[in-house]
Structure formats: structure tokens, C-alpha cells
Structure 1
Amino acid sequence: MTMEPNDHSASETARIQATLIGIPTDVGASRLGAAMGPDALRVAQLAPALERLGVAVHDLGNLAGPPNPRNERDTEGMRNLAECLDWTQLAHDAVLQVLQQDRLPIMMGGDHMLAAGSISAVARHCRATGRRLRVLWLDAHSDCNTPQSSPTGNMHGMPVASLCGLGPAALAALSGATPALPASAFCQIGLRSVDESEKRMIDELGLEVYDMRAIDELGMREVMRRALTGLSGPGSSDVHLHLSFDVDFLDPDIAPGTGTPVRGGPNYREAQLCMEMIADTGRLASLDIVELNPALDVRNQTAELVVDLVQSLFGQSTLMRPVAGAVQC
């Protein structure tokens, strides 16, 4: 699907076809509650909010998978591995099917372990269609642990390592190739809680990372300008931009409804600018929304904030602004 460059009015975005995919599991997380995330987004009126922007939304409902067994860490250093593999396979298959229908998938998690499935599907699709994949990872955490290095064994701390070929073999190979994508395809933004082993992993992989110190020193505008380099203008028409949005990217003062909050994250206006600048590229082609935990929220305010930010991601702005490229999915 292609949207010709123009402004962000509803009439011009009417050709965007998006599919909501609910994946209600917290099997990879340390706390219960993220399984309720998809329905919290529905209560916050995600679909109607997008439809007001001219996006044609289809909601697949929630996929069904194994329950959370709350297992202790197994001998390989991971919790609930079998169940995590089942859920990531479900995520992979659903996202891939939506992409093959020329629609934009919005995966509503669930914990961030699911991104190993969604991004594996995007990587497979990009290989099949000859597109270049760029992944923006908005998160307080790097999620670069391996089974050997993880202090908890929780799988939601391992998806980046797995996508780079360093996680459990079955998870690393989910896209049909190991690694699913090169580390150079990633850009992580907002990090402020990174384990010592993850610091070494980031360095060894050469991941592009803008932690909160970088945001403090450079400002969100400059960070996003660097992160989005090459996503607009000549030579960018073959780029598939995937956004993996962990709710704990946001400062917990404005987004308390998440299982692993870390103080000192982006404020409301910084987060809005981040989303607006992504929208300006016109390249967003797939989206994860993960780690929304309504059990820890206050009157669903975090889900409502997320819906507000996603509207900006799909072109809502104060004034009419030019789009640098075409939406591709």
C-alpha cells in the first residue's frame, strides 16, 4: 500500500488500511497484567481514534494461546519458554498474514517478548519483497539479555538479543533466517535501565542507542533526526519502518500503567514530538504497542495517553504539515 506525499488530513490518509491484532499474554513478563493491555486500548477507543484520522481499521480481536503457568526458571535459564514460543509464533503468523494483505499491522500486547514474533514476521516479509527494514525500539530497557546473562529468566528481556540471533534457537530462527535482521537495523531510544551484561552486548553488537542522557544533551528533536536519517527523500521508498513501542518508554509520572516503570523517561511533549517526527517520514508500516498493564494503571489514563500518541503517529497535528515520503506496508 502506498500513500502519496501530502499533508496529514483525514482525506489524504483514507487509504491507510490498518489491522489491530490483540495478543493477550504476560507469559514473558515479571508481573501479571499486560495480558489485559489489548482490551485497555479498546476501552480507550484506539480504533475510533484512528478512524477519525481517515484510517480504515479492522480489529481481528484477541488471539488465543496458552495460559501463563508462572513457572520458575528452567534449567536453560528461561521462564515459560514453551509458552513464549507458542505466543511468539502466533504473533509472527498473524502479523505476516496482515502484511501479505497489504495492510498495516498494529500488534497490541501483551509483553515485549511478543516483538520477537512480530519483528520476525516483518523481517521475513521484507526479505520476500526486497525492502529495507528499520526498527525503532522505544523502551526504558534494552532487552538484550540472553538466557545465560538474564538475571530473572523473564523472556521479555530477551527479544532484541533473539532477533540478533543470540537468543533461544527456536526464537532466533522464527523469521526463517538467523539472525532475523542485522543489529544495524535497530535504533533504541529512551534507555535508562540496562544490565551490565546488556551494556557489553550493546557494545559488541554495535547497536545504535540514544539513552536518556543523549536525549537530555541533544534534545528529542536531534535524537529523532538522527534516528530517522535516510527514511525520507530520494532512495527511501524501499524502507519499511517498524516501531516497537514499550509503554515503559514513557516517564511513569505520565504513564503509571506498566509493569517495569523506570523514573526519568520522556515527558508528554517529548513523546509527542517523537511520534510526530516518525509520522512526518510517511514510512511507518508496522507497529507494536506492548507492556501496557491496566492492573497498575489509574482510571486507564496510560491507555488513553497511548491512544493520543498513536494518533500523532498516524498524522494528527496542530497544523497541516508536509509528509516526506509515502506510507508503505
Structure 2
Amino acid sequence: MIKPDYYRQPVAWTGRIDGTAEELLRWHQRIIPVNLLTGALPVLKPHQQGVVFLGFASDEGVRRNQGRVGAAEGPAALRLACSNFPVHFDSELVLADAGDIICKDNQLEEAQHSLSAAVLSIRKAGYLPVLLGGGHEITYGHAHGIYQHLTGRKRGEKLGLLNMDAHFDLRMTGTEGSTSGTSFWQLAQDCNLEGVPFHYLALGIQANSNTQQLFRIAGDLEVQYVDADAFHLQDKPLVHAAINQFLRDVDHVYLTIDLDVFSAAFAPGVSATAYNGIRPDGLFLECYRNILQSGKLAGIDIAELNPSLDVDNRTAKLGAGLLFEMISNLHYH
């Protein structure tokens, strides 16, 4: 259940208007605001696809993880950066904005619970949840909602967790509870309790950003990963082989993109910048499109955008560009 105190209703998108003919439309002219507490998403026709944008306006997990706060403003910055995109997608595609889940009074666990409930309702309606972060604590609520949806269908379908990130985010929870670095460890514990396979692939891992303990935990959990060097050295066979094998092993994919996976030259507006992060170049785009076009996408989010640290909206534009690419290559379950 979405708790009203943790929900902020959507605000209409605005932007440039060149006309109302189909070839002149921009994203803000196609967005349908939907209040998840009081209204229902439009019913999709058979074979029709729909996307729901939902913000997670929280950086409490970043604060608990001793990072630089400000990512709570990320959803608004991503919407603004996306608003004027021209429409280059099927006229039948439904785009809705369901507002934001907020973190009230630092109660992150409650916010994650409401996020999970919102994702579950979106998936039940047949839509693809496209979440706008917010800190990387977004992962636990988002993926948990997808797991709940699959459990409710009782078909034994396997969910794969795919994280583009410099960090494993496999920290064990401590006295502070959930943080931006604990989501995948929490999901692994949930999978163990439920007897569900834990399928996790991380792309862009940096040795200088993860302790030996985190690499050990990754090994214990049989986590698959490709480090950033493979992207730097353009090792296409290695990267594509890892992704293709992962896609073959699962039925659905939850994809999260932590913007700190990218070089600080392209993504300065994040909690933890990476001077040697990967580049959003041709190899990255090939990998990204491969995932998008697999037909297995069950949810996607952009995490860790911190507008207060951004330079000329560079990071917001990168995140928005990833969303444009996703909408242009939309294939989901």
C-alpha cells in the first residue's frame, strides 16, 4: 500500500510547443498525469505498450552512506531535461507520470515500502515502471515491487538484476538500516528467505571503489560482474558475452543505471564521481540497446543524479538521453 504521506501527486509537464500535429509533438505534450492514490492508469489495448514515470525523491540512503546529499532533487531535473524531447515513438505508446514517492522525516524504509507498492500497481496494470532517482536506495523498493509482481503470477519466472555501476552496492545493513549501498545485499537476503534465485550482473565495477569484503561477498553470492577496464579497453567480446549469457539465464530484467558509473567528465553531478568511469560511447550504447531490445525489461531506473553538483546540466542531460534511448527502443514484458 502506498502511504499518502509518502506520495506527491504529479505536476503537468511543460515545454516548447511547435504545434499539435503528430510530427511536431514533444514529450511533454504526450504525458498523462495520473495520481496513483485517486486514479487508475489508462487501460491498455491488446499489444499496446505503456510507460509510467515515477520519481523517488530521496537521498536519505546517500546521507546514511556518508555521501553528498542532493539527489532528492534528481526526479525534477530529469523531467525537465526530458520535457522538450521530440516524439520519435509509436503514436499508440502511452506515457504517464505518476508523481513521486518521497522520503518523509528520514523514514527511508517506509518510503521504500511505498515505492514497492507503487511499482507493483504499475506492473499489474501492464505498464513498464521507469523510475527517476534519487539515490541508489531506489533499487530495493523498485526491484522488490517487481519480485512481488512475479510472485503473484506464480509462474516460476526468474528475475535478473542488472546494475550499471562503479559499486556492487552489496554492503550489509547495520544499525542505520538501508542505505544507498545496501540494496543488492538486501535483495539477496530476501531471495534466500523466499527460496528464489539471486541473479545479479554488475557492469562497470571499479576496484578502487569496492573493498575486499565487497568482492568476497560478491563471490559468495555468485554475482557476475564486468569491471570498468573491459569498457576502457573496448573488450567487446567479454562485455557482450557476459550480457548475453545473463539475458539467456533469466526471464525478466530489472535494469538500474547509477550515473556514477560514467566518467566525471560526462557525469559530474553525482554523489561519488569517478575520474576513470566508463564513457557513454559506442560500446556502452551497443550494450544498452542489447538489454533494451531483449524484450525482457521489467523495470528501469536512473539513480544518483544530484543537480546541486551538476555542471551545465551535463549529468541530467546524460540521464535524460538514456531515457530517450530507452523509449526509442522499447521492448518490455
TM-score range, shorter chain: 0.7 to 0.9
How far is the alpha carbon of 1:188 from its aligned partner? 0.5
CA distance in 2, matches of 1:217, 1:278: 21
Aligned to 2:50: 17
Superposed CA deviations along residues 181-207 of structure 1, whole A, max 9, x for unmatched, are 533x11110011112221110111110
TM-score by length of 2: 0.75
1:84-103 superposed matches below 5 A = 84-103=108-127
Matched residue type, 2:186? S
Aligned to 2:170: 144
Superposed CA deviations along residues 141-172 of structure 1, whole A, max 9, x for unmatched, are 11111135x9x98711111111000xxxxxx4
Contact 1:34 1:110 (8 Å CA) reproduced: yes
Alignment counterpart, residue 35 of structure 1, candidates 61, 72, 75: 72
Aligned to 1:108: 132
Contact 2:230 2:238 (8 Å CA) reproduced: no
Moved more, 117-126 or 98-107: 117-126
Change in 2 beyond 3 A, CA 1:181/1:67: farther
Change in 2 beyond 3 A, CA 1:15/1:304: farther
* Structure 1 residue 327 corresponds to structure 2 residue 331: yes
Contact 1:24 1:109 (8 Å CA) reproduced: yes
Sequence identity of aligned pairs in percent? Answer: 26
Alignment counterpart, residue 135 of structure 1, candidates 161, 173, 181: 161
* Structure 1 residue 277 corresponds to structure 2 residue 303: no
Superposed CA deviations along residues 3-35 of structure 1, whole A, max 9, x for unmatched, are xxxxxxxxxxx9320001111010000221100
Contact 1:280 1:315 (8 Å CA) reproduced: no
Change in 2 beyond 3 A, CA 1:190/1:279: same
CA distance in 1, matches of 2:195, 2:272: 26
Alignment counterpart, residue 301 of structure 1, candidates 314, 319, 324: 314
Instruction: Name the SS for the 2:275 alignment partner.
Output: coil
* Structure 1 residue 261 corresponds to structure 2 residue 299: no
Change in 2 beyond 3 A, CA 1:146/1:266: same
CA distance in 2, matches of 1:98, 1:225: 32
How far is the alpha carbon of 1:230 from its aligned partner? 6.1
Matched residue type, 1:20? F
Aligned to 2:179: 155
CA distance in 1, matches of 2:49, 2:237: 26
Contact 2:77 2:316 (8 Å CA) reproduced: yes
Task: Flag as ranges the 4+ runs of structure 1 deviating above 6 A.
Answer: none
* Structure 1 residue 215 corresponds to structure 2 residue 218: no
How far is the alpha carbon of 1:117 from its aligned partner? 0.9
Contact 2:58 2:102 (8 Å CA) reproduced: no
Change in 2 beyond 3 A, CA 1:64/1:268: closer
How far is the alpha carbon of 1:213 from its aligned partner? 2.7
Matched residue type, 1:41? L
Aligned to 1:4: none
Aligned to 1:201: 217
How far is the alpha carbon of 1:58 from its aligned partner? 0.2
Matched residue type, 1:147? T
CA distance in 2, matches of 1:223, 1:249: 15
CA distance in 2, matches of 1:36, 1:180: 37
Change in 2 beyond 3 A, CA 1:181/1:247: farther
Contact 2:161 2:255 (8 Å CA) reproduced: yes
Contact 1:20 1:108 (8 Å CA) reproduced: yes
Unaligned runs of 5+ residues in structure 1 are: 1-13, 69-82, 166-171, 317-325
Aligned to 2:205: 191
How far is the alpha carbon of 1:216 from its aligned partner? 4.0
Superposed CA deviations along residues 108-132 of structure 1, whole A, max 9, x for unmatched, are 1111112111101111212222222
Alignment counterpart, residue 52 of structure 1, candidates 88, 98, 103: 88
How far is the alpha carbon of 1:179 from its aligned partner? 5.3
Unaligned runs of 5+ residues in structure 2 are: 1-46
CA distance in 1, matches of 2:310, 2:225: 28
CA distance in 2, matches of 1:267, 1:181: 34
Contact 2:292 2:331 (8 Å CA) reproduced: no
Aligned to 1:291: 304
Matched residue type, 1:132? K
Contact 2:82 2:324 (8 Å CA) reproduced: no
CA distance in 1, matches of 2:274, 2:234: 21
CA distance in 2, matches of 1:180, 1:42: 38
How far is the alpha carbon of 1:52 from its aligned partner? 3.0
CA distance in 2, matches of 1:179, 1:261: 36
Contact 2:116 2:142 (8 Å CA) reproduced: yes
